[in-house]
Structure 1
Amino acid sequence: MTVVLPRQERPWTDGHMVVCGDDGLARRLAAELREIYRRHVVLVVPGVQDDEPTTQEPPAARDGQTPAPGRPAVVPPLREVSAEVPTRDVLREARVEAAAALALLYEDDEINLRAALTARRLNPGLRLVVRMYNRKLGDHLEELLDQAALVTASATDRTVLDASTTVLSDADTAAPALVATAVADTRKVVQADGLLLRAAERPAPGRGEVPDPGLCTLALLSSTTSDPAGSEGSGTSGTPAPELLPDDRVVQGAQGRGTIVLEAVRRASAVPTPRRLARRGAPWGEVFSARLRWAVAGFVAAVLALTATTAVLTDADPVHAAYLTLLDLFSINDPALDAPTTRQVLQLLSGLVGLALLPLLVAGGLEALGTFRATGALRRPPRGLSGHIVLLGLGKIGTRVLALLREYDVPVVCVEQDPDARGIPLARDLGVPVILGDVTEDGVLDAAGVRRADALLALTSSDTTNLEAVLAARALKGDLRTVMRLYDDDFATAVYRTLRSAHPDAVTRSRSVSHLAAPAFAGAMMGRQILGAIPVERKVLLFAAVLVAGHPQLEGRTVAESFRPNAWRVLALDTADPPARRPDLASTPHDGAQPQLLWDLHPGYVLRPEDRVVVAATRRGLAELLATGPEPALDPTSAPPA
């Protein structure tokens, strides 16, 4: 349980962790650092009653997590500081000057930016982990803060020289899990050294089939992952839970269980920008309607028929016949008073056809004008649309999910109440239909075509709204596949079990964003570069860059010997010389240099102290790897957990 001590009784230990935030991710990260890594944590959140002790069971403890070997068995105390924003005085109260790491997890990028600059001035050697939705701004901030640390560093100040800044996004971490839950056969992507690591989910092989391990097998899925009434990897009632980084013999002996394998490694390319209607011109099908195109086709056919008839009956050559027909159409030819009757009849027919030309020109102009004006407006769902995904909410998470769904070319219909939501411009650029309205109102889900949809993604910022939308959608279509974004993981589990019992024939999944994102933030606070995270049902697999030196589990061992099933696995080796190594493996090189990571490692390669490797690790496995580093001693005066 968490113990919040009165102000006069709070002990302080240098090297503690400071977590600042205004939502569930902050508390989840604090529990992750205390329960898994056994670190002192100061939590700065709004609305804490600072003068009264409270107790609370950490989320990580409820998950049944155990500390890594070498970590203290006693959970360090937690100090909570009440503050709306992390001002300079608040950071001083949290003792940032003596802290080892600071996490800034506010939903407002500007608050995180200001607090990061202030914290860097207070402690140049502080390890910073910043939550930023704007990735471009985050890259610039990371470079700026690292340069600021180097400017203040001296030749002997190794603490400052080792300072680092890591910018992460909970939206980028959680979005692949939400998409993979709603869409079958999707791939999770991790970027490293300008490469894309694609982890693909593969179904269980049939009888006599040999499973393809890809580059390596990352996880074994539970046998109920595709069963609507299954327990989704909870491991209850004799159902095997998902197993991360399994041994090869376990994979070969698993029957009826799907796998997630590291499928491919390729060069990362720039994401293509959405096509704008006004930039490169619009397709004819969008500018002119089908009726107008049929009318134009009929008019052209009539003109060709008149031209051919004129050429046959008047013995004129085709060019002259076409010329006479066009003159009659535009009513600029002289009347054929002295011409034969045939010529007079053809002139009258050409004049009648020419009467239809003006309405066609006017209709075409109006339709084109309306189409180009509509480029700034939101599209409505087309009639007869089916097999699509209904996405509720275009906030931070919803916007990332929408981008991934369109990357997979999945048809989407969005529902958003706020016309100024963050994802509205992206939906407009991608041409995705959007319905503006409250999803809890009657008729909104019907307008989105829920009855003909394949899945519903409820990703609004309100848990009750998401739950109400899922219940309303299930009333319209009982077997609809639904995925909910819920903040609290316990609440998400309870909702999942209730809906699974009420609708056994439909797939129901619930996801907590803080549960998916917290392990990546915790690993970054411990000083490991987290390249990405892959969700496996309700578990998370981390990819990190690790220096071999100081890790007896890796140093002096072969790649095969260093593999610890269910804990970590070495995937790649950085072959660049240590002085020439890029500090950020997740960035794409601007100079077009070839990748320096060797992925096809020989199992007999002996890891040297100067090597840097990319490892896939579980939460507990990464904590065990970090256990060999220096650990601040527990304060003997701290009260034990209740």
Structure 2
Amino acid sequence: MVVCGDDALAVRLAGELHDIYRQPVTLLLPDADAIGPVPPHTTRVVEAEAPDAAALRAAGVARAVAMALAYEDDETNIRAALTARRINPRVRLVIRLYNRKLGRYLAELLDQAAAVAAGQGDGTPADSATVVLSDADTAAPALAATVVAGTGKVLQADGLLLRVTERTPQQRREATGTGLCTLALLSSTTDDPAGAEGSDRSGPAGPQLLPAAMEIARSAQRGAVVLEAVSHTTPAAAPGRLAAVGLPVMELFSRRVRWALAGFTAAVIAIAVTSWITTGDHPVHAAYITLLDLFSLNDPAIGDPTERQLLQLFTGVVGLLLLPVLVAAVLEAFGSFRSASSLRRPPRGTADHVVLLGLGKVGTRVLARLRELGIPVVCVEEDPEARGIALARSLRVPVVLGDVTQEGVLEAARTDRAHALLALTSSDSTNLEAILCARTITPDLHVALRLYDDDFATAVHRTLRAAHPQALTRSRSVTSLAAPAFASAMMGRQILGAVPVERRVLLFAAVDVAGLPHLEGRTIADTFRPGHWRILALDTTDPADRRPDLRTTRLDGRGHVSGLLFDLHPGHVLGPADRVIVAATRQGLAELLGSGGAVPPRSAGRAGPS
């Protein structure tokens, strides 16, 4: 693996590739001392001012399996990508670009160049895909998952959030029947809570990855790592909502206008009833005459009884008073509809929502992800021309325009009744100040803030956690959020993520069954190999409609119905057109994908996973 960059993302990515995936890494940096301490476990460090052809060759791109271009400048990454593709058409490229549209075109161009080069070569297939990532794409899923999943490790697959949580033996007993499956048994026990923490050994002294059903049943005194599906219940829509435009009726007119209209309606009804009683007319005719008098459309009651003349005069006065109220109501209704077509204010009674501060690149992606999950959101943005304003308008998400550090802005976003707060502005100081202000309003509020510097993020997290131990606090640096996604992309599109279990790791991957002798033509029960891999879900989506990368999500906020089926029958036979989600060890995944290992015989009596 070759990692090129000029900031902390490159260093952290190198560490991720080595620690999680056990890959040899070469770092290409302009100045290693200026960036910071380079992990000593990397294979080597090459210093070069620019990633030109000579520098890339010196870094070993010609023999590399994958290369990441993580420079802050888009143009530098594009130049290096074109050069690397020319040197090694088979290398898998992961490129950091802010411009998503340009990135899509660049990926198509580089993939086409790799296909042409492969056609002119020896015909050996190569995984030379090009993946373009941005800070917004990599940060948004983790930030959105923070307010949904809390402290658990989160994976994304086909629009679903899967949470991997540790359970103590007592929690295992109390949560019987919950969770999708048990992924690992921890080294800790009831008598020894710490256990053999950090042990890489299998068996009783260390964690057991992907245990068999009998092992799970016999290990009631050990902690476990469990896979759960995360869901968020969306509150029912408030009554009185106009279906056509989604505008609450109670917000169409102000309280004063509503009371005035109610008073005039009562007065008209009283006049109509009095007219009916005094004149003896039919009630409908009496109401009709009253309305004519109200709008000064009736003839003067000359020669009529005194009661009729007094009623006409009183009705005319009421009509004169009604005119300004009607004008005010029309103006308010016009303003409400105009606001409905632009930005909404937080409705009355808003509660259990997420307050999102900042609608820049990252905030826009997080907003789309939260709405896709059905989570109610109230946004706060200072710039009315920010990138995410248009998306918030189209999704009918309430927005408070103002500086989050100013008095009353957080209150206007109903922070006191919110479930969580995400501070995603481009300023570290603004995010920190907003979090501190929010904690003064609601001390136990769940908060997550985006910080650029990893050390600063760690310090902020520890301080806030110490000051508010009862509340969930998460501080995230851009590099810590981006590195796992870049590392997964470098390992291939099939990798959904990796979860550390003490000092071992489980990989989650989307795998096509075709051509894999360990899976094709076998039942779900036959494919399970304890300690190596197990099938978690089957993608039931039609092959023509499948998304190539299950980690991707919609960016327009619209819902997506997942095709993943987790409740699998042990006797289901996998066909060549199937795609499955598997959990595997490093060695198990390599063996499953054909890197080695003998194929076990089919056995109808093998026990299925649990």
Larger RCO (alpha carbons 8 Å, 6+ apart): 1
Of 48, 68, 73, which aligns to 1:81? 48
Contact 2:400 2:412 in 1 (8 A): no
The 2-side partners of 1:400 and 1:278 are apart by: 27
Deviation at 1:402, TM superposition (A): 2.9
Gaps of 5+ in 2: 189-193, 200-204, 232-241, 554-560, 597-610
Alignment correspondent of 1:481: 446
Matched residue, 1:423: 388
Aligned to 1:403: 368
In the alignment, which of 305, 322, 338 is matched to residue 340 of structure 1?
A: 305
1:354 Cα deviation after fit: 0.9
Pair 1:250–1:388, CA change in 2 (3 A) = farther
The CA deviation at 1:164 is 1.9
2:398 is aligned with 1:432: yes
Please say if 1:199 is aligned against 2:162: yes
Alpha-carbon distance, 1:355 to partner? 0.9
CA shift for structure 1 position 337: 1.1
1:522 matched to 2:487: yes
Structure 1 segment 251-270 matched on structure 2, within 5 A? 253=219, 260-263=226-229
Please give the per-residue CA displacement for 1:441-496, whole angstroms capped at 9, x wherever unaligned.
66655665555544333334455554454445445554333333345656544543
Shift of residue 28, structure 1, vs aligned partner? 1.8
Separation in structure 1 between the aligned mates of residue 353 and residue 23 of structure 2, nearest angstrom:
46
Residues 346 and 609 of structure 1, relative CA distance in 2, 3 Å threshold: closer
Partner of 1:633: none
Counterpart of 1:545, as a letter, is A
Q: Does 2:271 correspond to 1:313?
A: no
* Structure-2 separation of matches of 1:577 and 1:387: 37
> How far did 1:292 drift?
2.0
| TM-score, normalisation: structure 2 | 0.70
> What amino acid is aligned across from residue 81 of structure 1 in structure 2?
A
Q: Please give the residue correspondences for 1:166-565 in structure 2 after superposition, counting only pairs within 5 Å.
A: 166-168=131-133, 171-172=136-137, 174-183=139-148, 190-192=156-158, 196-199=159-162, 211-218=176-183, 248=213, 253=219, 260-263=226-229, 280=245, 282-375=247-340, 387-429=352-394, 430-437=396-403, 439=405, 445=410, 448=413, 450=415, 453-463=418-428, 465-475=430-440, 477-487=442-452, 492-531=457-496, 542-546=507-511
Equivalent residues of 2:353, 2:419 under 8 A apart: yes
CA shift digits 1:487-535 (9 cap, x unpaired): 5656544543443334333333334454354334323323352346789
| Number of residue pairs matched by the alignment | 562
Q: CA deviation at 1:583?
A: 8.8
Matched-pair contact (CA < 8 Å) for 1:173–1:533: no
Taking structure 1 as the reference length, the TM-score comes to 0.67
C-alpha contact 1:99 1:126 (8 A) present in aligned 2: yes
Are 2:95 and 1:100 equivalent residues in the alignment? no
User: Quick one: structure 1 residues 581 and 460, their matched pair in 2 at CA, closer, same or farther if it must change by over 3 Å?
Assistant: closer
1:406 and 1:241 mapped to 2: Cα distance?
41
Query: Deviations for 1:314-335, whole angstroms, at most 9, x for unmatched residues?
Result: 2333443333222211213221
In the other structure, the counterpart of 1:127 is 92
Q: Secondary structure at the residue paired with 2:510?
A: strand
> Where does residue 49 of structure 1 map in the other structure?
31
Aligned residues of 1:387 and 1:454 also touching (Cα < 8 A): yes
Q: CA deviation at 1:255?
A: 7.1
Name the CA distance, whole Å, in 1 between partners of 2:540 and 2:120: 28
Task: Provide the C-alpha distance between the structure 2 equivalents of 1:36 and 1:134, rounded to a whole number of angstroms.
Answer: 29
Give the percent of matched residue pairs that are identical in Structure 1 and Structure 2.
60
Deviation string, structure 1 residues 384-442 (Cα, Å, up to 9, x no partner): 86554443333333333333444455454444455544333333443323343253x66
Q: Secondary structure at the match of 1:82?
A: coil
Q: Which amino acid aligns with 1:503?
A: H
The 3 A distance-change label for structure 1 pair 212 and 387 is: same
Instruction: Give yes or no for contact 1:19–1:105 (8 Å, CA) kept in 2.
Output: yes
Q: Which residue of 1 aligns with 2:602?
A: none
RMSD: 5.4
* Residue 614 in structure 1 maps to residue 593 in structure 2: no
> Secondary structure in 1 aligned to 2:280?
coil
Gap change, CA 1:576 and 1:424, over 3 Å in 2: closer
Please say if residues 519 and 619 of structure 1, whose CA atoms lie closer than 8 Å, have aligned partners that are also in contact: no
- Contact 1:150/1:160 (CA < 8 Å) preserved in 2? no
Counterpart of 2:3 in structure 1 is: 19
Q: Cα offset for 1:365?
A: 2.4
What's the offset of the Cα at 1:215?
4.2
The unaligned stretches of length 5 or more in structure 1 are 1-16, 62-73, 224-230, 266-276, 589-593, 630-642
- SS of aligned partner of 1:331: coil
1:331 is aligned with what amino acid?
S
